[in-house]
Structures are given as structure tokens and as C-alpha cells.
Structure 1
Amino acid sequence: MDLGNTQYFKVQADKQISAEDVLEQVYEALVEKGYNPVNQIVGYIMSGDPTYITSHKNARSLIIRVERDELLEEALTYYIEKKLGGDVQ
């Protein structure tokens, strides 16, 4: 190794993951661990405290990769489109 020259290395960027995928995976992990997923996810979104989310299946690491407002937007969009039949733009 030549310490006189600058060494280059490339770090792979994290893969982008959608809010929808995060919510689905976190939901499954919470259910598997016996938690009420709605209460836990709402607690996280309201407080920003990641300890509401289990670390089982890397759920906690996943959920902090997405902004809380994106999670809320995804949940609300789904509700409006599926439950109310509305079109969200």
C-alpha cells in the first residue's frame, strides 16, 4: 500500500425503499413479535422515538430510513383511495 497517494473506494448507496414496503415489513415484524402494529407505528410517527418499533427483522432500521411524514402520507393515501374511493394526486 502506497501511503503517499490518495486511496479511493466506493461505498454503495443504500437501496431506495418505498414507504409502502417499509410499512408492510414493519407491520409483519410487529405482528410476529405480538405487538399491536397500529399502536406501535402511530407511536413512532407521533413521537419520532424508534423504540416503538421492534428490531426484529431489522424493522427499526427500516422505518428510520423513511421520513415520518412519508409514512403518514402513504397510510392516508391508501385509506382515502381504498376506503373512501377517492383519487389522491
Structure 2
Amino acid sequence: MQDLNNTQYFKVQTDTELKVKEVLDVVYKAMKEKGYDPVSQIVGYIMSGDPTYITSHNNARSLIMKAERDELVEELLKEYIKNNFLD
């Protein structure tokens, strides 16, 4: 029997959250499939916050809007540094 004087903790299992890196991968591929320049379109989205820069193909627009724009920039910068500089 539960103690009714204590607050119980209940955690709802949400859909598996994609990592920012995976979001960028899906978005990049969707943009390429639709014939857009993914770099220009993603930069446009990051700079403006306007989701219409991203295609809705393969749910890319919805996915990218789940990530914070600063997280997108952080992931891109981490990958750039990792691939271009020695630690």
C-alpha cells in the first residue's frame, strides 16, 4: 500500500528523442532529396528562426523545430572543430 502523504513521481516515456546530430542528418538528407541547398537553407533557418526555410519532406521541418537553434549551432561548431583542428 502506498503512503498517501508523500508525493509520487511519475515519468511518462516520450518518443525516443533524436540527438541534434541526428536531426541535422535527417534535415540535410531531406533538403538534398528535394533539390535544395541544405547549407543555405539550414543557415537561413538558424539565422531567422523561420521554419519555412526547411522542407516538410520526411518530417524535417517538425524535427528541426524540436531542437533549439543554439544547439544546432553548437553541434555544427563542435563537428567543424573536431574535423579541422587537432586537440
TM-score (norm 1): 0.80
* TM-fit CA distance, 1:14: 3.2
* Other-structure match for 1:37: 38
1:13-42: CA deviations, max 9, x gaps?
Answer: 232111100000000000000000000000
> What's the RMSD between the two structures over aligned residues?
1.2
Match status 1:62 vs 2:63: yes
* TM-fit CA distance, 1:84: 1.8
Query: AA paired with 1:32?
Result: E
Distance across 1 between alignment mates of 2:15 and 2:46: 22
Secondary structure of 2:66's partner? coil
What is the aligned-residue identity percentage? 62
* TM-fit CA distance, 1:12: 5.1
- How many residues matched? 76
List alignment gaps of at least 5 residues for structure 1.
1-10
* Other-structure match for 2:29: 28
TM-score (norm 2): 0.82
Distance across 2 between alignment mates of 1:64 and 1:14: 15
Distance across 2 between alignment mates of 1:46 and 1:18: 21
Query: AA paired with 2:72?
Result: L
* Other-structure match for 2:20: 19
